[in-house]
Amino acid sequence: MREMTFKSASELSHAYILVSPAPEERLEAAKTIAAAAVCSAPGKVPCGNCRACRKVREGIHPDVIAVRRLVDDKGKQKREIGVDQIRTVVSDAVVLPNEAERKVYVIEDAECMNLPAQNAALKLLEEPPRGVILLLLAANAESLLETVRSRCTEIVCGSHAAEGDAEGQKLAAAFLKRCAERDEAELFRWCAANENLDNAAASAFVESAIGLLTDMLCRRKSSLGLSDRECYDLVTLLEHAGDMLRLNVGVKHVLGLLAVRGIGNQ
């Protein structure tokens, strides 16, 4: 998985869906975000070295709470995460953290939440207490309710993120090509054709487009005829689009903004 850091803990979203068919990849991403949430170091987080980060890695931080499928009286793990487990999380979320400024709930195998449990989780997603972060770990986000997914930032983890990166680069190249051609009608058509992207794919596209523009400004790639001023303006626009996606603004709305302001209207 590519390095995941944040400018500060305040940059974190209140809820993430961490997607990978490999449980260890999901857990690794969850530990990174949880450490970022409770990290005590200044600057980018997680630092990986402070006491809080070390406790998260060791699985002993009191403000990082794991929610797993329960075990039955025969020692076998149950098939579902029930509504009572999630109601316990909802009740506990209003209690102040023990050590850090934030509390993180890590719901493993989130796709195993039954429908009442997912609906109960919506209470936290819609009205999260201050400083509470919810991490939903799933092999496939499609198994979660759309109402749940729409309120979370989706991240594809581990080796499977490379596929998203490649698609993001392809979309970024297509978007910048249309911006460089200055064909507003074609840009509108392209944005409309891609408005059904999920949040993770849209975020990968935005990140890739900013990377390409940076390479253009540093003369590592052809500018496609875009001036430096146009490249700078597009970077600013795309950074704003990335912020919107982190706040769970709909992809259709974000692409609409890019369609309107992508050609000389920043």
Q: What residue numbers bound the domain in which 252 lies?
A: 161-261
- For 15, the enclosing helix (H) or strand (E) is strand 15-19
| Predicted local distance difference test score (pLDDT) of residue 10 | 87
202/134 same-domain check? no
Hey, how many other C-beta atoms are within 10 angstroms of the C-beta on 215?
A: 14
Q: Is 182 contained in some domain? A: yes
21/151 same-domain check? yes
Segment-wise mean pLDDT, segments of 10 residues, the chain, 266 residues: 73 91 90 96 92 96 96 89 96 96 96 95 92 93 88 78 68 91 91 88 86 83 87 90 83 91 69
Token output for 94: 């209003």
Q: Is 20 contained in some domain? A: yes
88/184 same-domain check? no
- For 233, the enclosing helix (H) or strand (E) is helix 228-246
| Predicted local distance difference test score (pLDDT) of residue 18 | 93
84/137 same-domain check? yes
| Predicted local distance difference test score (pLDDT) of residue 1 | 41
152/46 same-domain check? yes
144/188 same-domain check? no
Instruction: Write down the H helix ranges in 128-193.
Output: 146-149, 161-181, 184-193
Q: Which of 108, 140, 156 is the last residue of a domain?
A: 156
Q: Which of 156, 189, 210 is the last residue of a domain?
A: 156
Q: Are 25 and 1 in contact (CB under 8 A)?
A: yes
Q: Which residue has the tokens 């978007």?
A: 175
| Predicted local distance difference test score (pLDDT) of residue 100 | 96
Q: Which of 126, 156, 186 is the last residue of a domain?
A: 156
Q: For the chain, how many structural domains are there in total?
A: 2
CA distance 152 to 15: 5
| Predicted local distance difference test score (pLDDT) of residue 165 | 65
103/171 same-domain check? no
